[in-house]
Amino acid sequence: MLLGVIADGFTGASDIANTLAKGRPGQGGLRTVQYLGIPDGMAAPDVEAGVIALKSRSIEAAAAVEQSLAALRWLLEQGCRQIVFKYCSTFDSTSAGNIGPVAEALAEALDVKGVVACPAFPGAGRTVYQGHLFVKDRSLNESGLQNHPLNPMTDADIRRWLRLQTTADVGHVDIGVVRQGPAEIEAALQEDAARNRTLVIVDAITDDDLVAIGRAVVSHRLVTGGSGIAIGLAANFVEHGLAVGTGAAAIGVEGPEAVLAGSCSGATREQIEVHRRNHPTFAIDVDAVMDGSITTKDVTSFLLANQGRAPLAYSSCTPDAVQAIQVRFGREKVAKALDDLFAQIAQQLVRAGIRRLVVAGGETSGAVVSALDLGALTIGAEIDPGVPVLLSGGECPIALALKSGNFGAPDFFINAVKRLAGR
């Protein structure tokens, strides 16, 4: 294994696995496998990039650090030359969150300074300019992410945000330096390292900026960022003759389908509205979940009764509604109840023969794939930017699409259902 990724969520893991597998046009990517948690045994010998998906984004920082260091140890045992710590391109974490502590712990374990921190993903509208994170034409704290139910982002200055989470000063490489090319980027990172700065925010507005950053860190043991940071990394191994540059596999399975949505993002709510015009939908009332009047059987019965029509079950609602529910029942209690519900629904659906499963929302995806315990997933073709087809192994493989809440076109759900069948 050449490159190892530690991802703090399951949708994010799929996102960066997709980036590594497809690579740059004309160059190809790496043979990539996504692991749902830390594997028990060694990786297959032909795996060039291994992505470990953790569910660590919203847990206590100390626990996130412990899990991430365990993942690092496994990846180093596989021979990885470079490690990527992948977090969300909207930098989902509170001021007391996990991104800074995990990144610092990994840097300390690898004995490195001047580590790139770049959540930019221009293909999904995420850019970094002068150390500030933007979502399309809005600063992060005005993009709707300030209303995130678990990790509200109230400051677009990610240097300032990281300084609240870390012990060392945070550096910055601005877009002017980035546009001068890889040598200048590397020189700036080395200067920050000499100043004892562990993490360095690096501006990126276009994919070409990310390619330049990727070339600059060709010899770095640790890189951190969103999935976009990996755009230029696969090519480094191909150009040095360490990888052959394969593309993502064309995979899929036929069979019954279902769509589950737990995200409350604006993009997912729009996708639900588009989907419900022509497909059966089941709105999961969270109050009813909390008082037990909606059960797993209610939802699964609806989805199974509508096989062949791309049925959708969702708990998504507006930020105001989410806040009101959290006030009534408590944020953690609501999150656990919904995670448990979606996990049990997924288990019952698969037992009943569902073979194509689309899941929207990072926490929901984590709950679903943890419950299904599918092992290593093969990375297939891209459905929408950042969302590939995933295929489990075994005699009855399951095709999955795990979508971050803010990703995907308005008609994502029906397109995903089709692509999971290889169409």
Structural domain ending residue among the three candidates 207, 239, 271: 239
Question: 316 and 412, same structural domain?
Answer: yes
pLDDT in tens, 18-49: 999 988 877 789 999 999 899 999 999 999 99
- pLDDT computed for residue 150 by the predictor: 61
Distance CA 192, CA 220 (A): 14
In a domain? residue 244: no
Question: 261 and 234, same structural domain?
Answer: no
More confident site: 399 or 144: 399
Highest mean pLDDT: which range of 57-61, 178-182, 372-376, 393-397: 178-182
Question: 264 and 234, same structural domain?
Answer: no
Question: 217 and 272, same structural domain?
Answer: no
- pLDDT computed for residue 271 by the predictor: 97
Q: In this predicted structure, which of 22-31, 196-205, 414-423 has the lowest mean pLDDT?
A: 22-31
In a domain? residue 56: yes
Highest mean pLDDT: which range of 116-120, 121-125, 325-329: 116-120
Distance CA 136, CA 168 (A): 30
- pLDDT computed for residue 131 by the predictor: 94
Q: What is the mean pLDDT of the chain?
A: 92
In a domain? residue 247: no
Question: 185 and 51, same structural domain?
Answer: yes
Tell me how crowded residue 219 is: count the other CB atoms within 10 A of its CB. 9
Rounded to a whole number, what is the largest CA-CA distance in the chain? Answer: 63
Q: What's 150's domain CATH number?
A: 3.40.50.10840
281 has a pLDDT exceeding 90: yes
E-strand stretches of 102-254:
115-118, 126-129, 132-135, 138-139, 170-173, 199-202, 222-225
Distance CA 368, CA 357 (A): 10
Rounded to two decimals, the pTM is: 0.84
Q: In this predicted structure, which of 147-151, 217-221, 311-315, 391-395 has the lowest mean pLDDT?
A: 147-151
Q: What's 269's domain CATH number?
A: 3.40.980.20
Q: Kindly calculate the radius of gyration of the chain based on its CA atoms and give it in whole angstroms.
A: 20
More confident site: 139 or 348: 348
Question: 264 and 210, same structural domain?
Answer: no
Binned at pLDDT 50, 70 and 90, residue 88 comes out as confident
Distance CA 153, CA 227 (A): 19
Question: 176 and 294, same structural domain?
Answer: no
Binned at pLDDT 50, 70 and 90, residue 148 comes out as low
In a domain? residue 206: yes
Q: Which domain holds residue 387?
A: 257-420
Question: 330 and 362, same structural domain?
Answer: yes
Q: Do residues 218 and 207 make contact, with C-beta atoms less than 8 angstroms apart?
A: no
Structural domain ending residue among the three candidates 205, 239, 273: 239
3-state secondary structure 80-101: CCEEEEECCCCCCCCCCCCHHH
Question: 305 and 184, same structural domain?
Answer: no
